[in-house]
Structure 1
Amino acid sequence: MNYAMLFPGQGSQSVGMLGGYTAPVVRQTFEEASDALGWDLAVLVREGPEQELGRTQRTQPALLAADIALWRLWQAQSLPAPSALAGHSLGEYAALVAGGALDFADALRLVERRGQLMQSAVPEGEGGMAAVIGLDDAQVDALCAAYPGEGVLEPANFNSPGQVVVAGHLPAVEWVLANAKAQGARMAVKVPMSVPSHCSLMRDAADALYLALGEVTLRTPSVPVFHNLDARSGREPASIRAALRDQLHRPVRWTQTIETLIAGGVAGFVECGPGKVLCGLGKRIAKGVPALPTDEPDAFDKACAAVTTG
């Protein structure tokens, strides 16, 4: 099967994630991450507490390590290689590691710094995010434009048709929660993140991240990596660096990314990481196209069989 490997981002984490896996490479990857960061990521993932794992600067390296642990296990199976890689938000860093464009240790330290910058950009309690269900992309644009107050309110994640996440100042997000139904939405629910990701409130954080990106080596990926920013695959290190900067303060275009991959001949998707979020989104974007999780060993084995037999 001609397939793309997809890497999930923040929101897929949980204490004990990948606990069903006994393969040494999974444990070794978490231990390697702990050594690179200088704190015990392996224990945090295994034992929590959940509140600490949920801190953005902890969540991001923990999820990156989980994604790469499964990627390494996948590579050890001698399976057909994916024809493309993509990651949702934070998952784009895992995609770049998998494609050989970024070293694992550098990526861990980058996403830890990314989390710190995001958390400091907007003081806790001043920003938020909400998922709007049942409106198309243009209608969500109009909903944000209709906000009568001051402050930022912008589309942040175009996740699938009829599911768009907005981000901004907390009063604006609360206005969406109270008024989305009146604007035609089926529902609006708060996203459990205090950091308003992928909106203009992250512009200063993005500029600071760009400086950090300049201190690491980036290479041309061995497999095309499609960016959240524009659903295009960047090959030059300079363009990858710019895409990672702009990704932080501009929307995740996940619907467009999946549609672009299918238009390019991809016939199925494998979600390489904890949870099944991207499988669910993929089924809504491209009905009938297989989307296979790997969050548990049984699911991993089924995904291996599917890409081998088609």
Structure 2
Amino acid sequence: MNKFALLCPGQGAQSAHMFALANQHGQAASFVQEALRQSIEQHTLADALSSPDLLFENRYAQPLIIAATLANWLALRDDIPTPDLIAGYSIGEIAAHAVSGSIEVQAAMHVATARAALMQACVHMPQRMLAVSGAVLADLQRFTVGHDLHVAIINADNKVILAGLASKMSAAIPKLASLPGHDITCTEVAVHIASHTPLMQAAAPGFAQLLDDTPVCTTDIPVLAGINAEKISQPANIRSSLLAQMTQTIHWHACMDALAENGIRCVLELGPGSALSNMLQVRHPRIACRSVAEFRSLDGVRNWVQRQFDR
């Protein structure tokens, strides 16, 4: 029997059209309209959605990503199989727990919004994130220690996201090319906050209290913890994992391997974007992977998933 998994993305693929599929479904469209009315400081999420400048600001980006992911889930959940496993990338881990049923959808929106504000308050000096490919992980880890940077996310043995103060990053970039490796490339990440590093430590106490105050229940659908790829379904583990990933490295390569090790044969990324399904397809080509972002209609998504189970 084919095993099915869902992926919940992090920041980076926001667009003005990120709710297009969900708006084809009545209940999901109502959720979208309510979510977009939410105000954060002087703007609503609807304002941010239509503003290229605000769309990638952390305080708006995090709740928008959660809203888009959960809207797609609401639009599809009655017509696709119950997932055997769920994984969320960065902020997507909150969405993953909402999809699993351990956190209510509206509570997940509240947690994402508060998380973004707490993290933004840690930015006293400009911060950056940088995707680096081609360098050996062990060499990069030693490099970051010597340049006061951090490995925020490991996507593969030679693909990582670095994070740190913008000044430190700018000084380090010219030296990255001298590391042992092959065709080392650096790409700016559209996230202006050093997520998953000790630079977020000041946000941890407030986020811990927020998680303690948020109702969390045991779920039958486990979620892979980003910090270690372990399957979690109990409230205490869910809270501790979400707290830890704010300041610790995300081991996404291990999460992808865990999907394969657990016999997953079909994966749907809930979007927006298709970065996670593309990464998984490269690492584990025997797993059928698609993102809702690749389809023009909800029927197209449903039909693709059904075909994987008809084989």
| Structure 1 Cα separation of the partners of residues 171 and 39 of structure 2 | 39
CA positional deviation for 1:172 = 2.3
Which residue does 1:63 correspond to in 2? 65
Which residue does 2:122 correspond to in 1? 121
Structure 2 residue matching 1:245: 3-state secondary structure: helix
| Structure 2 Cα separation of the partners of residues 176 and 284 of structure 1 | 29
> Contact 1:283–1:291 at 8 Å: present in 2 too?
yes
Structure 2 residue matching 1:287: 3-state secondary structure: coil
| Structure 2 Cα separation of the partners of residues 234 and 202 of structure 1 | 23
Q: List aligned pairs for 1:1-310, cutoff 5 A.
A: 1-20=2-21, 21-34=23-36, 40-42=44-46, 44-45=48-49, 48-77=50-79, 79-125=80-126, 127-147=127-147, 152-185=148-181, 186-295=184-293, 296-298=295-297, 300-310=301-311
| Structure 1 Cα separation of the partners of residues 264 and 24 of structure 2 | 31
CA RMSD of aligned residues (A): 2.0
| Structure 2 Cα separation of the partners of residues 120 and 308 of structure 1 | 46
Structure 1 residue matching 2:153: 3-state secondary structure: strand
CA 1:196/1:239 → structure 2, altered by over 3 Å: closer, same or farther? same
| Structure 2 Cα separation of the partners of residues 308 and 23 of structure 1 | 24
Q: Which runs of 5+ in 2 are unaligned?
A: none
| Structure 1 Cα separation of the partners of residues 135 and 250 of structure 2 | 17
| Structure 2 Cα separation of the partners of residues 49 and 35 of structure 1 | 15
CA 1:209/1:161 → structure 2, altered by over 3 Å: closer, same or farther? same
| Structure 1 Cα separation of the partners of residues 283 and 157 of structure 2 | 6
Equivalent pairs counted in the alignment come to: 302
CA 1:16/1:22 → structure 2, altered by over 3 Å: closer, same or farther? same
TM-score with structure 1 setting the length:
0.90
CA positional deviation for 1:43 = 5.8
TM-score with structure 2 setting the length:
0.90
Provide Cα deviations, 1:37-95, integer angstroms capped at 9, x if missing partner. 687435643xx112122221111111111101111111121x22111011001111111
| Structure 2 Cα separation of the partners of residues 143 and 306 of structure 1 | 46
Provide Cα deviations, 1:191-247, integer angstroms capped at 9, x if missing partner. 222211111101111222111111110111220111101101222211211111110
| 1:137 partner letter | L
| More displaced stretch, 292-301 vs 196-205 | 292-301
Q: Percent identity?
A: 24
Q: Which runs of 5+ in 1 are unaligned?
A: none
Larger proportion of strand: 2
